[in-house]
Amino acid sequence: MKTASLLLSIGFYLTFAAPLFGQTENPGLKIQHLTGDFYVYTTYQSYGGKPFPSNSMYVITQAGAVMIDTPWDSTQFQPLLDSIEIRHGKQVVLCLATHSHEDRTGGFDFLKAKGIQTYSSRQTLEICKANNQKQAQHTFQKDTLFTVGQYRFEAYYPGEGHTPDNLVVWFEKDRVLYGGCLIKSTEATDLGNIREANLLAWPQTIRNLKKRFPQARYIIPGHQDWSSTQSLDHTLRLLQQHANQRR
């Protein structure tokens, strides 16, 4: 395992999309306290004519704020940074993406222009290059420990699932497991976007997470409600449901 070290309000800004042809307004940016120095922030894009939520997270450290994934809505890049600075008196110093999709890496160029260090796995970088997507400045090989300020966290690759490169981020001291789109919310009724999914490997990947992090107190999925700790089991049920429908 490698180790990477970095030395180094709520003033919400809500951007509303004008309702066209009966579409619901975009809620903009929502920030909720998780525990301690951890916050879940949610941005939205239209799906089926309605705003669909995408969850990301940030952590306040003595050295600055760490973002896990970027906003899905590009209009919220600057409002998020402003909100963090207004509420916490901190600037974002690092952002780590959990896979290559736009709802995870879309803000990389914006953050880099602000002097914020961006990270992804080498696998994610190669996929982003192949698809002409936003790319991180720095890469690591799957399982890597980061230290920023007083916090130490692990980027862990449990196997293929939602995408070939999906990884999770684990904060052991606070028992926070950020799963991104690999983990489905208990609110989800299907697997969502499976264009790049490995449906055969995904169940074992979830079981790998259950075995590796049985003590998780908080589990954050990539979309929809994140209040339940049963999302790993729910993801397995959705995978089995999908498999049964294909028979």
User: 198 near 162, Cβ under 8 Å?
Assistant: no
Report yes or no: 123 and 131 within 8 Å, Cβ to Cβ.
no
Give one DSSP letter per residue of 7-55, joined into a string. Answer: ----------PPP-TTPPPP--EEEEEEETTEEEEEEEEEETTEEEEEE
pLDDT given for residue 2 in this prediction: 53
| pLDDT tens-digit map of 39-64 | 999 999 998 889 999 999 999 999 99
Per-residue pLDDT averaged across 23-32, rounded? 86
**Pick from 150, 156, 204, 208: nearest CA to 178:** 156
6 has pLDDT over 50: no
Which domains does the chain show, CATH number per domain? 2-6+22-246 (3.60.15.10)
Q: Tell me which residues are annotated as active site.
A: 99, 101, 103, 162, 193
Distance of alpha carbon 54 from alpha carbon 225, whole angstroms = 10
Q: What is the pLDDT of residues 124-168, one digit of tens each?
A: 999 999 999 999 999 998 799 999 999 999 999 999 999 999 999
